[in-house]
């Protein structure tokens, strides 16, 4: 499949771009993680996405996203921080796919990539909400919207 080949060939550039974007985003918890740790986390997500694309299965990205949600929630990360990391990797992957996949295969390639990452982000969000429903989390506290402040 051309999609997997393009992603494999551009792996290093994709990860470098996503890492730099994540550093520039100045997210509180990711900033404190260090460059090597950021890169390691992005590599893990990248590799799982590519594995899911190759196998045409979504179970690994769901499991991984749920694990990430638990780990980051327990470490005090807001869901927005984690979603941003997923989004930045997705943007970098998209750029390489658009540049490298033949136009006749592009719609399917982007659809597959978006599906895998979308399912991962959905699993991440559902796990965060589940965890937050058992504990008050300020990032999910919407009361201020309804108090006129």
List domains and CATH numbers for the chain.
2-132 (1.10.490.70)
Return the pLDDT at 26: 64
Contact call for residues 44 and 91 (beta carbons, < 8 A): no
Return the pLDDT at 137: 47
Return the pLDDT at 81: 85
Going 91 to 140 to 25 to 8, the CA torsion angle's sign is negative
Q: For each of the chain's 149 residues, which pLDDT tens digit applies?
A: 699 999 999 999 999 999 988 777 766 655 556 678 788 999 999 999 999 999 999 999 999 999 999 998 998 888 888 898 899 999 999 999 999 999 999 999 999 999 999 999 999 999 999 998 875 444 455 555 555 54
Return the pLDDT at 120: 96
The upper half-sphere exposure of residue 70, i.e. CA atoms within 13 Å in the direction of its Cβ, equals 5
Cβ-proximal residues to 58 (8 Å cutoff; 6+ apart), any chain: 52, 115, 116, 119
Return the pLDDT at 34: 64
């Amino acid at each position: 499949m051309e999609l997997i080949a393009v992603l494999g060939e551009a792996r290093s550039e994709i990860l470098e771009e996503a890492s730099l974007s994540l550093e520039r985003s100045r997210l509180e918890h990711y900033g404190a993680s260090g460059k090597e740790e950021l890169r390691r986390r992005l590599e893990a997500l990248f590799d799982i996405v590519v594995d899911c694309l190759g196998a045409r299965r979504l179970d690994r990205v769901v499991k991984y996203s749920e694990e990430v949600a638990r780990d980051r929630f327990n470490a005090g990360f807001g869901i927005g921080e984690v979603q941003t990391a997923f989004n930045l990797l997705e943007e970098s992957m998209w750029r390489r796919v658009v540049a490298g996949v033949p136009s006749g295969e592009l719609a399917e390639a982007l659809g597959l990539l978006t599906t895998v990452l979308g399912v991962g982000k959905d699993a991440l969000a559902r796990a965060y909400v589940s965890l937050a429903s058992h504990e008050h989390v300020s990032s999910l506290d919407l009361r201020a919207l309804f108090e006129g402040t």
